[in-house]
Chains A and B, each alone.
Chain A
Amino acid sequence: MAKYVPRETTDNVNVSRDNPLGVFIKALIGLSALMAITFVVLVTLSEVFIRFMPERVNFALAKIISERIDTPEHLEAERERIQQILNQALAQTRFEGDEFRLEILETDEKNAMAFPGRTIAITTELLKELKYENELVMILGHEIGHYHNNDHLRSMSRAGILMGLVGLLEIGGAGSASSVISGTTNLFFGQYSRHQETMADEFGLTVLDQYYGHVDGAVNTFEVLRQANEKMLTLNGILSTHPITDQRMEHLEKLITQMELTDESDGLIPFEFNPEPPDDEEPEDDSDDEERSADDQTA
């Protein structure tokens, strides 16, 4: 047998010399690019489908989705009041005579949404913030603008495609990387979402002008929305898919000047959201109120 001579190994052949960080960046860019290209192709195909989608598909979607969104019973009177305002706003657009449903969602979030199937939802928290009917019409006009541009279907199809691609990554064994990939892909399309919001703002402005003959309160609506958003997240300006509130307001002011629209403050119509208390709410006695008031002060 050969004699054993102790020798120290100086080189490690079992570990690649490639820098893992470099490999990571290359792989991330490669996979993100692949996903982005696939995403663009599928989104383009869905855009074609949405453009030529028959009206009956819209109604089928309405049935599926709207059944899941329902106004609480105690808000029904307010819903009907706002539905009338929505109908009048719709009369200013190409949707005149079409049936749109307004729903009120009871949540702490201040938001309004356009759901597929011609259902516009507005939250109680946002309604409480509004001081003028003009602001409500501006918000409803913005949401109608999303229908005008088919944004609700586009958003839904994009979300569906992204979910599908992330699912494929999971199946392909790259599940741990899927959040990075989907986040990176989203970055590319955040700008597109902001463009959609700007277009809807412009449409809302037109609705407001045709509704009242002036656009009083249009810019102020964003002040209400800004307060709502800033309370939710201070990084809103950087991360939100909505354009930064100031930019939206500036854009709207510029548009009002360009289109020579009338924007005074004397055409504002007061609005107050008056919800009835829920049926199951028990009347509180005075002693509870006093205790709560004391708690609030100490908080």
Chain B
Amino acid sequence: MENLIGLIFTVGLIVVAYFVGKTIENRHFEALKAREREFLDLPSLTTQHSYDEEGIQDCRLVYGNVVISGDYFKMVLAALLKFFGGRIVGYESLIDRARREAILRMQAEARQFGADAVINTRFEMSKLDAMTQNQGTGMFEILVYGTAIKVNHG
């Protein structure tokens, strides 16, 4: 009997987590699209040598980081899929949101600096659960950093 009560409780949590998580995710994706449009004129490139030294007026390090965690639905889905292996569908959108959010934060910092572009953009990802000894919640940090440059327009 306890198992059945537990099952109902767990399924209830999963359903609530799915719909709440889905709503939050959809809103975040919409917000990301809108903010990415604002930064279209500020390219973030992985290239290392785009400009001659003389063409650069100023430069500095810029970065953006995000800590993100999956909801209960994503966590259980990942646990189920891990048994069979393959693509962990629920976490793909999670990681995509985190990367894009981190890029936007880096671009916002670059914009404050008055940069024309960010070059040598790099991504780092670390699992924070390992630090807290918690293996279950799927908590990640994504760090995006690069060199913001101001170009001599004259």
Contact = CB atoms under 8 A, between A and B. Distances in A.
Interface of A: 1, 4, 6-9, 12, 14-16, 18, 20-21, 23-24, 27-28, 30-31, 169, 172-177, 179-180, 182-184, 186-187, 190, 233, 235, 239-241
- 6 shortest interchain CB distances as A-B pairs: A183-B7, A176-B79, A6-B40, A27-B80, A173-B82, A177-B79
B40 A8 contact: yes
Given A4-B43, A186-B3, A175 B92 contact: no
A176 B41 contact: no
Nearest to B93: A15
Q: Is the interface of B mostly helix, strand, loop or mixed?
A: helix
Contacts, number: 102
Given A6-B43, A183-B6, A27 B93 contact: no
A47 B86 CA distance: 37
A173 B83 contact: yes
A174 B45 CA distance: 39
Nearest to A178: B79
Contact of A31 (B5, B14, B40, B83): B83
Contacts of A28: 80
Interface string B117-144: 1000000000000000000100000000
Contact of B4 (A27, A31, A174, A183): A183
A15 B26 CA distance: 13
Interface residues of B, number: 38
17 contacts: A12-B96, A15-B96, A16-B89, A20-B18, A24-B77, A24-B80, A27-B77, A27-B81, A180-B76, A183-B3, A183-B7, A183-B10, A183-B11, A186-B4, A187-B7, A233-B1, A239-B4
A166 B50 CA distance: 56
Interface of B: 1, 3-7, 10-11, 14, 18, 36-37, 40-41, 43, 45, 50, 73-84, 87, 89-90, 92-93, 95-96, 117, 136
Given A15-B96, A16-B92, A179-B10, A187 B4 contact: yes
B136 A24 contact: no
B125 to A, nearest CB: 14
Nearest to B50: A1
Contacts of A31: 80, 83-84
A116 B78 CA distance: 39
A20 B6 contact: no
A235 B5 CA distance: 10
Contacts of B43: 4, 6
B113 to A, nearest CB: 18
Contacts of A177: 76, 79-80, 83
A23 B82 contact: no
Contacts of A30: 84
B47 to A, nearest CB: 8
Contact of A175 (B41, B79, B81): B79
A172 B79 CA distance: 9
A130 to B, nearest CB: 23
Nearest to A242: B1
Nearest to B116: A4
Contacts of B136: 175-176
B9 to A, nearest CB: 9
